[in-house]
Chain A
Amino acid sequence: MKVQLTINGYKKEIEVKPDEYLLDTLRNSNYLSVKRGCDSSSCGVCTVLLDGKPIASCSYLSVKAEGHEITTAEGIQKEAAQISAYFGDEGADQCGFCNPALALTIYAMKRELSDPTDEEIRDYLVGNLCRCSGYVGQQRAIRAYLEDTL
């Protein structure tokens, strides 16, 4: 089946199988910031934005995305770099595997919640697991990023 997707602002027509997940479609199309972790909707490293909202691409069929706008970390490079700098300052990451998904989720959160409390930030990011950081540094980095950029 052919699906029309808008990926990072560019219209694409891609051949997919009816049971193909968006994670595979995107990785096969070289959007390699989208990672495969658990492949069962639990870790969040496959997060992409669908019409601006974070979804787990490992659990979203590509055919369902027909006509929608998809954003990967490649599409928000400036913001992702900015967020990463705050993470660096706070020692909030190590291997970096979770970072593209986290940057996308923070990007979406900033647009969805006007002035989130620490609890709202934690709630919003509960689906983004990180094996390395312990989350406290991340929380500090996100708070600083929001305070400087909101």
Chain B
Amino acid sequence: MKINNYHKVNTLDEAYALLTSDKSSSIIAGGAWLKFSKKTIENAIDLSNLNLDQIVETKEAFEIGCMTTLRQVEVNKSLMTFCNGVITKSINEIMGVQIRNIATIGGTVSGKYGFSDLITPLLVLDTKLQFYKNGIITLEEFLNSKDFKNDILVKIIISKKIGKAKFISMKKTSNDFSVINTAVFKNKEECKIAVGARPNGALLAIKAMEFLDNNKTYSEEVINECASIASKEIPFGSNIRGSKEYRIELCRVLIKRGLQEVLK
């Protein structure tokens, strides 16, 4: 990455004006992933002065500023117990504290990284994103769209829905990317299942979720069938971390384990 001009902005207006002033302008959050980019950035826009590194807990939600580091999220006491600490657990597995003290939640979500261990659990929770120009949209909408490239992600809003959740990933070593990661959520109203590091970005396993919602009892057979549906409906690919076939098998096993945990 090469940077021609660095701006620590004082308002979001200023940031937006710079971002839209030149095609090669870019928001820089932790900058940990951008480091690997081959881009020349004309205007690097740093939001550090805007007080966007806070976690605000309201009655209904956690509102997490885009510049909040992964470590700040990880050590937040309320999030440690929210939905069995599913967010804390997923972050805890990302590299070492040295990177988690740099990388931000805003950079993670904006990057839509296929390997992300955090986007997968966020997808099974009710996660909304607040953009500077486009307002509030769901995380799913954002992941499926290409429309928000020239906007600034301001906050990540996680509704405090009550239920059990479980994140399980498979890594070859603790500092590596996941071969696959999975998250499941269950409460009285709904079941949500997401699979990430396919190696592409996380997706909800809609058919498997419908299957579980249509069942009143959760026998071993039902759980096995649900995990099998998920592993068949999600498109997988191969890369240096694992083959498509390996991921299909892992998906079935990890979803099964996740469901066993949340349906206990």
Where the two chains meet, the residues of A that have a C-beta atom closer than 8 Å to any C-beta of B are 1, 17-19, 21, 40-42, 44, 47, 50, 53-56, 59-61, 63-64, 66, 105, 108, 123-129
> Is there an interface contact between A54 and B101, defined as CB atoms closer than 8 Å?
yes
Cα distance A129–B98 in the bound complex, in angstroms: 12
Cα distance A66–B48 in the bound complex, in angstroms: 11
Cα distance A126–B3 in the bound complex, in angstroms: 31
> Is there an interface contact between A50 and B96, defined as CB atoms closer than 8 Å?
no
Is B144 at the interface (CB under 8 A from chain A)? no
> Is there an interface contact between A18 and B3, defined as CB atoms closer than 8 Å?
yes
Binds A, one of B29-37, B162-170, B183-191: B29-37
Cα distance A44–B6 in the bound complex, in angstroms: 26
> Is there an interface contact between A64 and B96, defined as CB atoms closer than 8 Å?
no
Look across to chain B and name the residue whose beta carbon is closest to the beta carbon of A41. Answer: B99
> Is there an interface contact between B98 and A19, defined as CB atoms closer than 8 Å?
no
In the complex, chain B residues 1-49 whose Cβ is within 8 Å of any chain A Cβ: 1-6, 8, 28, 30-32, 35-36, 44, 46, 48
> Is there an interface contact between A44 and B96, defined as CB atoms closer than 8 Å?
yes
Among B8, B92, B98, B174, contact of A56 (Cβ-Cβ < 8 Å): B98
Nearest-Cβ distance from residue A53 to partner chain B, whole angstroms: 5
A40-B3 CB under 8 A given contacts A61-B31, A127-B97: no
Nearest-Cβ distance from residue B71 to partner chain A, whole angstroms: 7
A19-B97 CB under 8 A given contacts A59-B32, A59-B35, A60-B102: no
Q: Find chain B residues with CB under 8 A from A124 CB.
A: 97
Is B175 at the interface (CB under 8 A from chain A)? yes
Among A1, A17, A54, A129, contact of B97 (Cβ-Cβ < 8 Å): A54
> Is there an interface contact between B95 and A59, defined as CB atoms closer than 8 Å?
no
Q: Find chain B residues with CB under 8 A from A125 CB.
A: 96
Q: Find chain B residues with CB under 8 A from A123 CB.
A: 92
> Is there an interface contact between A56 and B99, defined as CB atoms closer than 8 Å?
yes
Kindly supply a per-residue 1/0 record for chain B positions 37-72, scoring 1 wherever the CB is within 8 Å of any chain A CB and 0 otherwise.
000000010101000000000000000000000010
> Is there an interface contact between A127 and B8, defined as CB atoms closer than 8 Å?
no
Where the two chains meet, the residues of B that have a C-beta atom closer than 8 Å to any C-beta of A are 1-6, 8, 28, 30-32, 35-36, 44, 46, 48, 71, 92, 95-99, 101-102, 174-175
Q: Find chain A residues with CB under 8 A from B6 CB.
A: 1, 18-19, 61, 63
Cα distance A21–B96 in the bound complex, in angstroms: 19
Look across to chain A and name the residue whose beta carbon is closest to the beta carbon of B176. Answer: A42
Which secondary structure characterizes the binding site on chain B?
mixed
> Is there an interface contact between B175 and A53, defined as CB atoms closer than 8 Å?
no
Q: Find chain A residues with CB under 8 A from B92 CB.
A: 123
Q: List 11 A-B contacts (CB under 8 A).
A: A17-B3, A40-B35, A41-B102, A42-B175, A53-B71, A59-B31, A60-B31, A61-B3, A64-B46, A126-B96, A128-B98
Q: Find chain A residues with CB under 8 A from B71 CB.
A: 53
> Is there an interface contact between A56 and B102, defined as CB atoms closer than 8 Å?
yes
> Is there an interface contact between A64 and B48, defined as CB atoms closer than 8 Å?
yes
Q: Find chain A residues with CB under 8 A from B8 CB.
A: 63, 66
> Is there an interface contact between A19 and B102, defined as CB atoms closer than 8 Å?
no
Cα distance A128–B98 in the bound complex, in angstroms: 9
> Is there an interface contact between A19 and B96, defined as CB atoms closer than 8 Å?
no
Among B2, B95, B175, contact of A19 (Cβ-Cβ < 8 Å): B2
Nearest-Cβ distance from residue B20 to partner chain A, whole angstroms: 20
Nearest-Cβ distance from residue A85 to partner chain B, whole angstroms: 24
* Given contact pairs A19-B3, A64-B31, a sample of 16 additional A-B residue pairs in the complex whose CB atoms are under 8 Å apart: A18-B3, A50-B101, A54-B101, A55-B101, A59-B35, A59-B99, A60-B102, A63-B46, A64-B46, A64-B48, A105-B97, A125-B96, A126-B95, A126-B96, A126-B174, A128-B96
Look across to chain A and name the residue whose beta carbon is closest to the beta carbon of B72. Answer: A53
> Is there an interface contact between A40 and B97, defined as CB atoms closer than 8 Å?
no
